[in-house]
Structure 1
């Protein structure tokens, strides 16, 4: 059977939108599947103001009517995890998007803030601020094996970059969620839903080699008088912040390839049902 083209929508909420788009394009170009990506932006984020030219050039306004044309959907992270969800100007649009994705029952991958917002909305999982930013490349412990972790060894490396975390006890005790993996210090890596094709990923596995360094410089340039933690376990020369290492590349390839495989299975199962 020929491998179908996989049509994936991505709501790009990241600050570095062009770099984010290039990262996802690179990630999905390096899998065994043929993938077509369509990038969207939330309309309500720009309510009362002009949409930046770059955003209009590389993405489309979110259109819920188009979701039925897609096979899967990703909501990215966003540099707003320190805000309450109610303070996010486009949170209602995010909720409407999630509702429609659930109604269509297409595979959903929520990443970092996207995972926090979706888990809070769908399952009531609370968010709290961390004492300090979780920032660097860390080993991750597999708690419950699942399809997206297949082929990953216990202790696999992944980049984390966030100021907030979800309530672990709520995740563990929720009957509809399965905790998959955490860092060795018990920060979340991922969990999944039991009844729906929903995956919640808290590491930025889509990041390329230089992404953590760029994130550090972006924050430092925005507020040069503030002290920011440097990414841990990342540089070959950490003193001078030189030679970043792409230690998570194997996990990146395996995880996203696994996710695409689950999307392909979903496409094929729906085709069989129609036949």
Structure 2
């Protein structure tokens, strides 16, 4: 246990902002370290409209000077993976954020669309649309030793929910990157930078038991005339979409405990170097 709390910043880009913050706060605060989590929103997302009251209430505008003081930083997913990067109005602000994280050697965890945007910016890895959404709970298989996956068996379960993917061949060709785990169908679970504290996670491991069901209902209710794929390998009663199973709970706990441990180790190493 560290004497001071780990200061973790999170840029929350998800649609369900309140639920997202509750999820991340839960998985981080229940870990082995005392944490102080600060949530941010991209200011340039609201240049042509007022910042919603709820967003202002639960988070603060992204402040790069404050980011530079953080012990670690997370950029969440976002329901915009079907758009090109050039269509994202706040992409420049995200690039500026990443630049600050890299310049200050702050451990970075990029999740789903956040991982796509960061890998594209940092390593020029292209994004492409999937024929259909990968949606549900799937087995994931180890491709390389990874401290954040220590304690998980080969074939561990994790939730996936996305319409796009990065070019896995381009990742494999880049000697600066190493793929840690993939699904049976070779969809990415995670990869990392070899020499930098950058982790690219494509599973929504922060999701709790009901999150996949909520995501399905949100999409369906937003476009009632569209037939959306249902989450796979998730319900005990899939025919009636009842009784979702939290089968990735162990994966969630192990991963985030390992990540927090890696952040604490990074801080200790930095302090030792300074001394």
Task: For residue 78 of structure 1, report the CA deviation from its aligned partner.
Answer: 0.2
Task: For residue 3 of structure 1, report the CA deviation from its aligned partner.
Answer: 4.7
Q: Is the 8 A contact 1:111 1:200 kept in 2?
A: yes
Cross-structure match for 1:133: 133
2:184 and 2:39 map into 1 onto residues whose CA distance is 34
Q: Is the 8 A contact 1:127 1:166 kept in 2?
A: yes
Distance 1:92 1:2, change over 3 A: closer
Task: For residue 52 of structure 1, report the CA deviation from its aligned partner.
Answer: 0.2
Following superposition of structure 1 onto structure 2, how do residues 101-180 of structure 1 map, counting pairs within 5 Å?
Answer: 101-180=101-180
Q: Is the 8 A contact 1:4 1:264 kept in 2?
A: no
1:94 and 1:29 map into 2 onto residues whose CA distance is 25
SS state of the match for residue 266, structure 1?
helix
2:67 and 2:229 map into 1 onto residues whose CA distance is 39
Deviations 1:72-117 (A, max 9, x none): 0000000000000010000000000001100001100000000000
Task: For residue 28 of structure 1, report the CA deviation from its aligned partner.
Answer: 1.1
Task: For residue 201 of structure 1, report the CA deviation from its aligned partner.
Answer: 0.1
Cross-structure match for 2:39: 39
Deviations 1:36-63 (A, max 9, x none): 1000000000002100000000000000
Cross-structure match for 1:228: 228
1:157 and 1:259 map into 2 onto residues whose CA distance is 18
Q: Is the 8 A contact 1:209 1:246 kept in 2?
A: yes
Distance 1:97 1:221, change over 3 A: same
Task: For residue 195 of structure 1, report the CA deviation from its aligned partner.
Answer: 1.4
| Runs of 4+ with deviation above 3 angstroms | 1-4
Task: For residue 2 of structure 1, report the CA deviation from its aligned partner.
Answer: 4.4
Cross-structure match for 2:242: 242
Aligned residues: 275
Cross-structure match for 2:217: 217
- Tell which deviates more after alignment, 209-218 or 60-69: 60-69
Deviations 1:242-263 (A, max 9, x none): 0000000000000001011110
1:264 and 1:2 map into 2 onto residues whose CA distance is 7
Consecutive unaligned residues of structure 1, counting only runs of 5 or more, are none
Matched, 1:100 2:100: yes
Matched, 1:78 2:62: no
2:130 and 2:56 map into 1 onto residues whose CA distance is 34
CA RMSD across the alignment: 0.8
Q: If the length of structure 2 is used for normalisation, what is the TM-score?
A: 0.99
Q: Is the 8 A contact 2:68 2:100 kept in 1?
A: no
2:185 and 2:3 map into 1 onto residues whose CA distance is 40
Q: If the length of structure 1 is used for normalisation, what is the TM-score?
A: 0.99
2:78 and 2:41 map into 1 onto residues whose CA distance is 12
SS state of the match for residue 56, structure 1?
helix
SS state of the match for residue 186, structure 2?
coil
1:76 and 1:259 map into 2 onto residues whose CA distance is 15
Task: For residue 166 of structure 1, report the CA deviation from its aligned partner.
Answer: 0.2
1:155 and 1:26 map into 2 onto residues whose CA distance is 25
